[in-house]
Amino acid sequence: MARAAQTKDIDSQRQDYKDRLRKLGISPLWDQYRDLLSIEPQITSVPHIWKYDELRGILMESGDLISAQEAQRRVLMLENPAFQDQCKATETLFTGLQLILPGEIAPAHRHTPNALRLILEGDGAYTSVNGEKTVMHYGDYIITPNWCWHDHGHEGTEPVVWQDILDLPLLKSIGTIFYESYPDEQFPEGPPPGDSLHRYGSNMLPVGLQPDNLNSPIFCYPYEKSRETMEALSANSELDPYHGIKMEFIDPTTGGPAMSSISTFLIRMPQGFKTERYQTTEGAIFTCLEGKGRVVIGSGDAEQIIEFSPRDIFVVPCWYPHRFEVDENTYIFEGTDKVVQSKLGLWRERRGNT
- Can you give the binding site for ligand GTQ, defined by CB under 6 A? 73, 75, 96, 98, 111, 115, 150, 164, 166
- Nearest approach in angstroms of CB 179 to ligand GTQ is 8
- Nearest approach in angstroms of CB 49 to ligand GTQ is 19
**Whose Cβ is closer to ligand GTQ: residue 125's or residue 318's?**
125
Report the distance separating Cα 307 and Cα 305, nearest Å.
6
Residue nearest to ligand GTQ (CB): 164
**Whose Cβ is closer to ligand GTQ: residue 75's or residue 340's?**
75
CA angle 331, 336, 338 (to 5 degrees): 125
**Whose Cβ is closer to ligand GTQ: residue 47's or residue 96's?**
96
One-letter identity of residue 45 = S
**Whose Cβ is closer to ligand GTQ: residue 17's or residue 179's?**
179
CB of 60 closer than 8 Å to CB of 159:
yes
C-alpha atoms less than 13 angstroms from C-alpha of 217 in its C-beta half-sphere: 19
33-67 burial, b at 16+ Cβ within 10 Å, e below that, comes to eeeeeeeeeebebebbbbebeebbeebeeeeeeee
- Nearest approach in angstroms of CB 107 to ligand GTQ is 9
- Nearest approach in angstroms of CB 152 to ligand GTQ is 6
Nearest alpha carbon to residue 254 among 202, 215, 305: 215
Report the distance separating Cα 128 and Cα 144, nearest Å.
9
Query: Rg of the Cα trace of the chain?
Result: 23
- Nearest approach in angstroms of CB 135 to ligand GTQ is 16
Report the distance separating Cα 173 and Cα 338, nearest Å.
17
**Whose Cβ is closer to ligand GTQ: residue 99's or residue 267's?**
99
**Whose Cβ is closer to ligand GTQ: residue 98's or residue 275's?**
98
CA angle 202, 203, 204 (to 5 degrees): 90
Q: What is the dihedral of CA 319, 325, 328, 332, to 10 degrees?
A: 0
**Whose Cβ is closer to ligand GTQ: residue 150's or residue 268's?**
150
* β-pair partners for 244: 240
CB of 170 closer than 8 Å to CB of 92:
yes
Burial class (CB in 10 A: 0-12, 13-18, 19+), 25: exposed
**Whose Cβ is closer to ligand GTQ: residue 111's or residue 154's?**
111
